[in-house]
Structure 1
Amino acid sequence: MKVGFIGLGNVGGKLSGSLLRNGIDLTVHDLNADLVADFVARGAKAGESPAQLMRDCDAVITCLPSPAASDAVMQEMLPEVKEDKIWMEMSTTDEAEAKRLGAMVIERGGAAVDCPVSGGCHRADTGNIAIFAGCDRATFERILPFLTTMGRRILHTGELGSASVLKVVTNYLATVHLVANAEALVTAKAAGMDLNTTYEAIKISSGNSFSHITESQVILNGSRDISFTMDLVKKDVGLFQEVADRANVPLEISPLMVEIFDDGIKRYGDRELSPNIIRRLEDATGLDIRAPGFPPEMLDDEPEEPGYEVIPQGKELKAAE
C-alpha cells in the first residue's frame, strides 16, 4: 500500500519516520522544504501537493497543528478522493471537525479515520506509541498493518470521531497531572524535602502518573523540554471543554486549567514549553525546582516492537455471548 504523509512536525516527523523505517512506500509533504528533503534523503518520495498525494497514494495521513490546517489540506485533496481511498487524521482535533471532514471523504466513496496518538514524542520516535482509531471495522482491518508500524498499542475506539474524543480526554488528564505535579514538587521543596527523594516517592506510590515519570523529569532537569508548548495545551484543554459542553457536563477543574494556562501564556508566551507552567509557582515562591541526575529530554529506551490491537476489557466476553 502506498502511503502519503502530510505534516512532518514534532509528532508527524516521528510517525512518518517509523513508516519509512519499516519499509512502507512513503510520499511526504510539508510546507518546510528542509523537512521534506531530509525524508527524501532517507528514501521517501517528495509530494508535490496534498492533491497529488491523494491522487497517487492509497492512503493519506494528515498530522497538522490545527483544525483550520486540516480543513485547508482537505479542500485541496477532496477532488482526488474516490472509491478505495483512505484519509487518516492523526492531528489532535475536534470530534465534530473530524466527522465533518470525514463525511466529505465518505460521500465521495473513500474511507475516513481519526487516529490520533498518545504517549509522548519520545515514544512516537521509536514506534512504541499508542494509537486510537475511529472508523468502521472494515476500514480498521485495512489500515491495521501500517498502524502497527507506527505504534505498539492500537485501539479501535468505535465510529469516526470517537478517537478524537478519547484523545482530548487523555490529553486533558495529562494536563491536570502536569499542573498537580508542579504544585506537589513546589510544595515538597517549600516543606524542605529533597527533590530527588520526592520524585522517587511519587514514582513508587499511588501518586504516580505518566506525566510524573516524563514531565517531572525534565522539570527537575531544568530544560522543561517535552516538545510541547503552552498554546497546544490550551488548544487541547479547550477541545475537551467543548466535548463536555456539548454533553452538558458541568466541569469544575477544566475551566481552571484554561485559566492557569491563559496566565502562563500571558507571562511567558504561547510557545513556551508546557512544563514551564511550574514557573508561575517558582516565581511566586522564589524556589528553584531543579535537582541533579535527571535528563534534559525524554528518550524511549524500550526496543521497537511489533504493534498489536488492544481489546478493551469486557469486549471478549460480549463477543462470546
Structure 2
Amino acid sequence: MKIAFIGLGNMGGPMAANLVKNGFEVAGFDVAEPAKEAARAAGINVCDTVAEAARGADVVMTMLPNDALVRGVIAEARPEVAEGTTFIDSSTIAVDAAREIGAELTDAGFRFIDAPVSGGIFGAQEGTLAFMVAGDEATFSEHRSLFEAMGRSITYCGELGNGQAVKACNNMILAIQQVALSEAMVMSERLGVDPQVFFDVVSNATGSSWSLTKNCPVTGPVPTSPANNDFKPGFATALMLKDLRLAMQAAESTKTATVLGRIVADQYEKLAADGHGGEDFSVIINEVRGA
C-alpha cells in the first residue's frame, strides 16, 4: 500500500515515520524545510509538491492546520490518483467541513475517512495516538492497519464528521480539566501543601486526570511533563484555542449551553493574546498564579 502523507510537522512527521517503521511505502510533502529534513531521516520519500507525493498513491493522508489547507491539498492530489482512492484526514477541523469534504470526494468517486487524533506530539512519536475514525465502516476496516501503525486506541465513531465531533468534545473536557487542576494546585500551594504530596494524593483519588498524571503543570511530580521543560509544547496553547473555538462553534450550532467550555475558551483566548500561544497549554497555571 502506497501512502501519500501531506503535512510532516510535529504530529504528521512522526505519524508518517511510524507508517514507514511498519512497512508502508510513504511519500510525503511539507512546506517547511526542517520538517522535510526530519522526514527524510525517517525514511520518507520527500517530494517537492503535493502532486508528486500523491501520484499513484493508494491512500492520501493529511495532517494540516485547517480545512482550507485540507481542501487545497485534496484539489492538488485528486488529478494524480485513481478513482476509488481513499483520502484520510487526521487534521482537526469543523464537523461540517469534514462532512462537506467527504461528500465532495464521494460524489467524485473517491473515498474519505475523518480520523482526528488525541495524544499530542509524544503520542505521535511513540505510536500511541488515539484515533477517532468516522465514515464508511467498510473503508475504515480496510485501512485499519494504517491506524494500528500509528496509534494504540482506534475507535470507529460512526457517520462522517463524528470523529471531529468527539474530538471537539474531548478537548473541551481536557481544557476544563487543565484549568481546574491549575486552580487546585495553586490553592494547595498557598495552603502550604507540597506539590508532590498533592500529586500523590490526587493521582490516586477521584480528582485524578490525564492533566495531572501526564501533563502535571508544576515541576517535579511528572519529570516528562512540559512544566519541567519550560512548557515546551506537547500540545500548544494555540492548538488548544483552535479546538476550543471549534467546540464553541459546535455548541452554538447545536444550541448547547457549554458554560464551563465558554469560560475556559475565554481564558485560553487571553492566554494566547498574552503571548503564550507557542507554549504548552498547561502554562495556564501561570495565569492562575497571577490572578
Aligned to 2:159: 159
Aligned to 2:247: 240
| Aligned AA (2:138) | A
CA shift, 1:222, in A, is 6.0
CA RMSD in angstroms comes to 1.7
> Quick one: distance in 2 between partners of 1:180 and 1:222?
22
Q: Any conservation in 2 of the 1:10–1:227 contact (CA below 8 Å)?
A: no
Aligned to 1:227: 234
CA shift, 1:81, in A, is 4.9
Of residues 60-69 and 72-81 in structure 1, the stretch that sits farther from structure 2 once superposed is: 72-81
| Aligned AA (1:246) | S
Asked whether 1:278 is paired with 2:254, we answer no
> Quick one: distance in 2 between partners of 1:111 and 1:275?
37
> Quick one: distance in 1 between partners of 2:212 and 2:64?
27
> Quick one: distance in 1 between partners of 2:81 and 2:102?
11
> Quick one: distance in 2 between partners of 1:37 and 1:213?
33
> Quick one: distance in 2 between partners of 1:222 and 1:54?
37
Tell me the alpha carbon deviations over residues 120-157 of structure 1, each in whole angstroms, 9 at most, x when there is no partner: 32122111221111111110111111111111211111
Aligned to 1:90: 90
CA spacing shift, 1:53–1:222, aligned 2, 3 Å = closer
Aligned to 1:256: 263
Aligned residues: 284
> Quick one: distance in 1 between partners of 2:33 and 2:87?
23
Classify the secondary structure of the residue corresponding to 2:143: helix
CA spacing shift, 1:84–1:222, aligned 2, 3 Å = closer
> Quick one: distance in 1 between partners of 2:184 and 2:22?
41
Aligned to 1:46: 46
Q: Any conservation in 1 of the 2:226–2:234 contact (CA below 8 Å)?
A: no
Aligned to 2:26: 26
CA shift, 1:188, in A, is 0.4
> Quick one: distance in 2 between partners of 1:43 and 1:141?
26
Gaps of 5+ in 1: 285-321
Q: Any conservation in 2 of the 1:98–1:161 contact (CA below 8 Å)?
A: yes
CA spacing shift, 1:58–1:222, aligned 2, 3 Å = closer
| Aligned AA (2:29) | H
Aligned to 2:219: none
> Quick one: distance in 2 between partners of 1:263 and 1:37?
35
CA spacing shift, 1:21–1:96, aligned 2, 3 Å = same
CA shift, 1:99, in A, is 1.1
| Aligned AA (1:252) | V
> Quick one: distance in 2 between partners of 1:141 and 1:219?
36
| Aligned AA (1:262) | E
Aligned to 1:305: none
Map 1:1-321; keep pairs closer than 5 Å.
Answer: 1-216=1-216, 217=222, 218=225, 221=228, 223-284=230-291
> Quick one: distance in 1 between partners of 2:84 and 2:188?
57
CA spacing shift, 1:113–1:101, aligned 2, 3 Å = same
| Aligned AA (1:264) | L
CA shift, 1:55, in A, is 2.9
> Quick one: distance in 1 between partners of 2:197 and 2:254?
42
> Quick one: distance in 1 between partners of 2:130 and 2:160?
18
CA shift, 1:212, in A, is 1.2
> Quick one: distance in 1 between partners of 2:32 and 2:267?
32
Q: Any conservation in 1 of the 2:36–2:46 contact (CA below 8 Å)?
A: yes
CA shift, 1:220, in A, is 5.2
| Aligned AA (2:140) | F
> Quick one: distance in 2 between partners of 1:20 and 1:9?
16
What fraction of aligned residue pairs are identical, expressed as a percent?
Answer: 28
> Quick one: distance in 2 between partners of 1:219 and 1:35?
22
| Aligned AA (1:235) | K
Of residues 275-284 and 36-45 in structure 1, the stretch that sits farther from structure 2 once superposed is: 36-45
> Quick one: distance in 1 between partners of 2:82 and 2:159?
21
Classify the secondary structure of the residue corresponding to 2:214: helix
| Aligned AA (1:159) | E
CA spacing shift, 1:132–1:14, aligned 2, 3 Å = same
Q: Any conservation in 1 of the 2:51–2:77 contact (CA below 8 Å)?
A: yes
CA shift, 1:42, in A, is 3.4
TM-score (ref. length: structure 2): 0.92
> Quick one: distance in 1 between partners of 2:44 and 2:280?
31
CA shift, 1:276, in A, is 1.1
Classify the secondary structure of the residue corresponding to 2:207: coil
